[in-house]
Amino acid sequence: MVYGMKMTMHIDEALLDRVMKAYGFVSKTDAVEGALREMDRRKQFDKLWKKGLGLSKQELGNLFDPGYNLMALRVAETPGKAILPPPDQAPQKARYGKKRSR
């Protein structure tokens, strides 16, 4: 990954540590970049959402089955039993970012 600039920032260390642990970032730079990318992704999605699909309210309404009733489907479901792998075979937490050599 190519970085554009080096800068000094004042960041809440406890917040940065929580984000790094929660998302598996291996460096502070990766954590900050990951947060920026997520903020950008959300803004791009927001713009797309506001722009819409170019359909009228009537056209959007016609996309859904009028007989679809989510609550009725949930009530009718029979809860299943969770099947979990043995602890020694559980998948490892995903790591984001790459370890950087110094």
**pLDDT given for residue 34 in this prediction:** 93
- When mean pLDDT is compared across 32-36, 68-72, 74-78, 93-97, the lowest value belongs to 93-97
Q: Residues 34-57: what's their mean pLDDT?
A: 87
13-50 burial: b if 16+ Cβ within 10 Å, else e: eeebeebbeebbbeeeebbbbbbeeeeeeeeeeeeeee
Report, as an integer, the average pLDDT of 13-36.
Answer: 93
How far is it between the farthest Cα atoms of the chain? 60
What H or E segment, with its residue span, contains residue 85? none
85 or 31: whose pLDDT is higher?
31
Q: Where are the domains of the chain?
A: 9-53
- pLDDT at position 59: 84
Q: Give the residue with greater pLDDT, 48 vs 82.
A: 48
Burial of 77 (0-12, 13-18, 19+ CB in 10 A): exposed
Of 78 and 46, the one with more pLDDT:
46
pLDDT class of 83 with cuts at 50, 70, 90: confident
